[in-house]
Amino acid sequence: MAAHAVEILGGQAITGAWPSRHISHDLAVVHQIADRVVVLREGAVVETGPVAEVFAFLCADYTRNLLRSSSPTGESK
C-alpha cells in the first residue's frame, strides 16, 4: 500500500504539480515524496527542515526511532 502511494504521490511531487501535506509515521515514505519534513511528538515540533538535512543530522531520539521503525522500501509491514 505505501509503495503504491509513493508511486502516485511521488510523481506529483517530482513534477511540482500541486502542493500537499502528508501525515505518516513511515519516514521512508516521507523521504521519497517530500521536500520538507516536520516531525511532531505529542503535538510539539521536535525537528523540521529539508528532508535531506533532517535525515542526515538526526537530532531527536524520537526521529531516530521513527526512522529505525520505517520500512526501507516504503512497503507496509
pLDDT for the residue 47: 94
Say what percent of the chain tops pLDDT 90.
Answer: 31
Which residue shows C-alpha cell 509491514? 77
Q: Give the type of residue at 14.
A: I
Q: What pTM, to 2 d.p., does this model score?
A: 0.68
pLDDT for the residue 74: 45
Cα 38 to its chain centre, rounded Å, is 9
Weakly modelled stretches of the chain, pLDDT under 70: 1-18, 71-77
Residue boundaries of the structural domains of the chain = 2-69
Which residue shows C-alpha cell 508511486? 7
Please say whether the beta carbons of 67 and 75 come within 8 A: no
Which residue shows C-alpha cell 501535506? 21
pLDDT for the residue 30: 85
Least Cα distance to 42 among 62, 26, 59 occurs for: 62
